[in-house]
Amino acid sequence: MTDSQKQSAIVRDWKPSAEFRYFIYDPNGDGFTYYRSAADRDADSTNIIAQYCDDGWDEDVENIVAGEISHTCEKTNVRARPPEDEIDGEGYDQDGDYWAEEWDYKCGYELLPLAAQGGDV
């Protein structure tokens, strides 16, 4: 298999998940790109780094980083918007919580571990 064929066989995603937990961050390219394995990520890194060399090296090449995601920021404690007849004219529900007109739900956010896959934690 040629290098070009190997590159086209690499599957990338734009959102981290348990399946796509390995990443490269390319500040002048696609930003974060996620991979199924460290080997795929490392294979793709050669092409990403090479894009920073023209007549000389662009200093931004030093801002490329790679790693493995362990946690992502996820919605928690999601509460659906109450029916309109339970929200008063000022936007408050029966519990005294404010609901702006454009809000369909309320929630918090927390860093949570990626779902385990194949025994990974």
Q: What is the DSSP string of 24-54?
A: EEETTTTEEEEESSHHHHHHHHHHHHHTTBS
How far apart CA 29 and CA 34 sit, in angstroms, is 13
How far apart CA 65 and CA 55 sit, in angstroms, is 23
How far apart CA 33 and CA 4 sit, in angstroms, is 19
Q: Which residue has the higher pLDDT, 13 or 3?
A: 13
Q: Which residue has the higher pLDDT, 12 or 1?
A: 12
Q: What percent of the chain has pLDDT over 70?
A: 88
Domain boundaries, the chain: 3-68, 71-113
Q: How far is CA 43 from the centre of its chain?
A: 20
Whether residue 117 has pLDDT greater than 70? no
pLDDT tens figures, 57-110: 999 999 999 999 999 999 999 999 999 999 999 999 999 999 999 999 999 999
